[in-house]
Structure 1
Amino acid sequence: MEDEYLDSRYTPGYTVESIELDTIVSRVQQLLELANTAFVERMRIIESSFVNPSWGIHGRT
């Protein structure tokens, strides 16, 4: 796939076959799912470090 990427950058008429496009789309979807999972988990950690039940949702007042 690396060769295809390099060719696409430097070959004016480069095309992607349907099966290759399906693979790329599938991999991008997997990456988005992983990124979303990591983001949600990180936000949960960050939020839990700032929220104290006695302070309320916005921290100390």
Structure 2
Amino acid sequence: MSEPKTYPSAPVELPLRLDVEPAPVEGCAGCAELVSVRVRARAVGDITTVTDCNVYLRRHPEGH
């Protein structure tokens, strides 16, 4: 009889994404607010909010 496995499998290695952050559209108050929130979140180490702002900025141009 073989030894039982105590772990499910080898770990999954995900690629490190170093995408450039999206830039705001000039003159758009919504974009400016998202950038402001992103800057404040980064200052306090809230990377989740930084990422959320980046997602919203990427999707925001749909209204432009």
Q: TM-score, normalised by structure 1?
A: 0.33
Larger RCO (CA under 8 A, 6+ residues apart)? 2
Task: Looking at secondary structure, tell me which structure has more helix per residue.
Answer: 1
TM-score, with structure 2 as normaliser: 0.31
